[in-house]
């Protein structure tokens, strides 16, 4: 059954809600709201009844795949269960209904929460200063690169290049380009880490920064990190930590202790917040002392009497990166997550994330899956691992995309495919710490059954999915030519 848009369902005069009759006299109205801001005609909203609205959105939501209905091992995205407690805390009216323009005197609780969250993130990063402002990991990256430029400029230096490993997430080079720097790729060695010789050669006085995630997108911790940090610093450059993979090491090691100068967190990945589809997130950054003067404004400050205020007076600041203070609901959820787990709990979450990934890898190996889908690098992994589907493609005639689509027929969201780019037919699997052993075993059984099925009849996987509301979509076309606005229905 095709689903109409809510606009197509509308019928003139149908209503879900009736406002009380306006009883503000016209002259007061003009005084309260200048005439130029008053609407002359009602907004073009769909006219529908309440049952229609409820049914429409419930129906649409059922056609989607979500973490609440199935396993979602989307590598690099950390799609973990988000405890409902945090939703309840974030919905408390003192947080949810607070106006962002509320005076500091009337928002002490919210400011205190931000201040405490900054303190907790500073401790986790091992770096002294934090800004919560960026709205996503990639926005944190942009903040980091702009801070890097401000730091060099203040020292009278102009540098033009930023290094990113060839395993880097696409947002790293995109951010670098957006900030006006030239991207220079650094190679990967046979162990899956940064090629240190290549780095040494490229780290010259024109390099502003190296952006790195550790463990990297192959799920491998780079044991040469201290050497890497010293090469970068010797060149006068900044070492930037892409924190999207922090879930593997939180509580065990700290980016600041590894030598990083700037770190972004993906609160929506490592901590808690439903995410995906561009939904709200937060990408706070933590920085070392030498970068702190350039941080975004306003900063949350606490005075000697324990009162909180917003400080805009930071002469070297790069300014603001967005309106207001960030996605506040994400801060509340993250703070609730940190308080409910505590330091030991955060450490344990990382341990179980790594344990689950290694268990899954061992089970796939035990079932012979790695003969068709070999591990791209290493023996063990961090919180995720990359398989290559090259032998599967050659021997069974199905591509990684086919396997991914067939997983949907089994009620499992496919892991990340075709990333990292240096692995042929890549499959990047991240089970996270919130999945049970039974779910992981079920995933292995499904992969085995799909490969077996493809031995007999590869056409089934090639034509998958068969059971979803829509079949194969032109995903590249949808991303390149998005239709995001409903045209008015006549």
Ligand X SMILES: Cc1ncc(COP(=O)(O)O)c(C=O)c1O
Smallest separation (angstroms) from ligand X to the CB of 246: 10
- For the bound state, the minimum distance from the C-beta of residue 141 to ligand X, rounded and expressed in Å, comes to 7
Of 248-267, binders to ligand X (CB under 6 A) are 266
- What residues from 112 to 141 belong to the interface with ligand X (CB under 6 A)? 136-138
Contacts to ligand X from residues 384-443, by CB under 6 A:
none
Out of 86, 159, 169, 383, the only residue in the binding site for ligand X (CB under 6 A) is 169
Contact code string over 138-157 relative to ligand X, x by CB under 6 A:
x-------------------
Of 281 and 298, CB closest to ligand X: 281
* Nearest CB to ligand X, comparing residues 46 and 414: 414
CB 391, CB 364: distance < 8 Å: no
Task: Give the residue with the Cβ less far from ligand X, 133 or 138.
Answer: 138
Residue 19: CA count within 13 A, CB half-sphere = 3
Distance CA 181, CA 192 (A): 26
DSSP-derived secondary structure letter, 269: I
* Close Cβ partners of 416 (under 8 Å, ≥ 6 residues apart): 74, 75, 76, 77, 426, 427, 428, 429, 430
Find the angle CA(330)-CA(80)-CA(253) to the nearest 5 degrees.
80
Task: Indicate whether 213 belongs to the interface with ligand X (CB under 6 A).
Answer: yes
Structure tokens at 205: 């006085």
Strands 238-243 and 207-212 turn out to be: parallel
Rounded to the nearest whole angstrom, what is the least distance from the CB of residue 299 to ligand X in the complex?
22
Q: How far is the CB of 216 from ligand X (least distance, A)?
A: 8
Q: Tell me which H or E stretch contains 453.
A: helix 437-456
Nearest distance, CB of residue 342 and ligand X, angstroms: 25
DSSP 8-class letter at 129:
E
* 77, 147, 403, 464: which one binds ligand X (CB under 6 A): 77
Query: DSSP letter at 40?
Result: S
Question: Residue from 215, 281, 284, 415 that binds ligand X (CB under 6 A)?
Answer: 281
Copy the structure tokens of residue 14. Answer: 């149908």
Q: Can you tell me which of 107, 217, 288, 334 binds ligand X, judged by CB under 6 A?
A: 217
**Burial of 359 by CB count in 10 Å (0-12 exposed, 13-18 middle, 19+ buried)?**
middle
Contacts with ligand X by CB under 6 A lie at: 76-77, 136-138, 169, 171, 213, 217, 242, 244, 266, 281, 283
């Amino acid at each position: 059954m095709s689903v109409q848009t809510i606009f197509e369902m509308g019928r003139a005069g149908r209503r879900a809600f009736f406002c009380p009759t306006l009883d503000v006299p016209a002259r007061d109205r003009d005084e309260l709201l200048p005439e130029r801001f008053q609407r002359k005609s009602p907004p073009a909203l769909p006219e529908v009844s309440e049952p229609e609205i409820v049914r429409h959105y419930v129906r649409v939501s059922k056609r989607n795949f979500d973490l609440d209905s199935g396993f979602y091992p989307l590598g690099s995205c950390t799609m973990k269960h988000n405890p409902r407690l945090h939703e309840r805390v974030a919905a408390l009216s003192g947080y949810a209904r607070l106006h962002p323009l509320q005076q500091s005197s009337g928002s002490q609780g919210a400011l205190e929460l931000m201040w405490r969250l900054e303190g907790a993130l500073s401790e986790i990063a091992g770096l002294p200063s934090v800004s919560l402002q960026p709205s996503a990991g990639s926005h944190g990256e942009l903040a980091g690169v702009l801070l890097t430029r401000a730091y060099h400029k203040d020292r009278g230096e102009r540098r033009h290049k930023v290094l990113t490993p060839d395993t880097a997430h696409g947002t790293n080079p995109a951010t670098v380009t957006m900030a006006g720097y030239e991207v220079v790729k650094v190679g990967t060695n046979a162990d899956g880490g940064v090629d240190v010789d290549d780095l040494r050669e490229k780290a010259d006085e024109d390099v502003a920064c190296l952006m790195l995630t550790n463990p990297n997108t192959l799920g491998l911790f780079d044991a040469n990190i201290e050497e890497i940090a010293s090469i970068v610093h010797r060149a006068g450059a900044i070492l930037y930590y892409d924190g999207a993979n922090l879930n593997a090491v939180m509580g065990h090691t700290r980016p600041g202790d590894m030598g990083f100068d700037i770190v972004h967190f993906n609160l929506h990945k490592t901590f808690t917040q439903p995410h995906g589809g561009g939904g709200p997130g937060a990408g706070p950054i933590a920085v070392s002392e030498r970068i702190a003067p350039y941080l975004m404004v306003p900063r949350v400050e606490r005075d000697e009497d324990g009162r909180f205020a917003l400080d805009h007076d930071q002469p070297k600041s790069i300014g603001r990166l967005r309106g207001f203070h960030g996605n506040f609901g994400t801060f509340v959820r993250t703070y609730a997550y940190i308080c409910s787990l505590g330091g030991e709990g955060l450490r344990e979450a990382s341990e179980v994330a790594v344990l689950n990934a290694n268990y899954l890898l061992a089970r796939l190996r035990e079932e012979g899956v790695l003969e068709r889908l070999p591990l791209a690098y290493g023996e063990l992994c961090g919180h995720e691992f990359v398989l290559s589907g090259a032998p599967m493609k050659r021997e069974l005639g199905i591509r990684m995309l086919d396997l991914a689509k067939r997983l949907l027929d089994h009620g499992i969201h496919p892991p990340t495919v075709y990333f990292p780019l240096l692995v042929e037919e890549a499959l990047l699997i991240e089970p996270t710490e919130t999945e049970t052993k039974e779910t992981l075993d079920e995933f292995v059984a499904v992969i085995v059954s799909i490969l077996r099925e493809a031995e007999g009849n590869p056409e089934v996987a090639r034509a998958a999915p068969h059971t979803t509301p829509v079949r194969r979509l032109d995903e590249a076309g949808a991303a390149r030519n998005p239709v995001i606005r409903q045209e008015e229905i006549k």
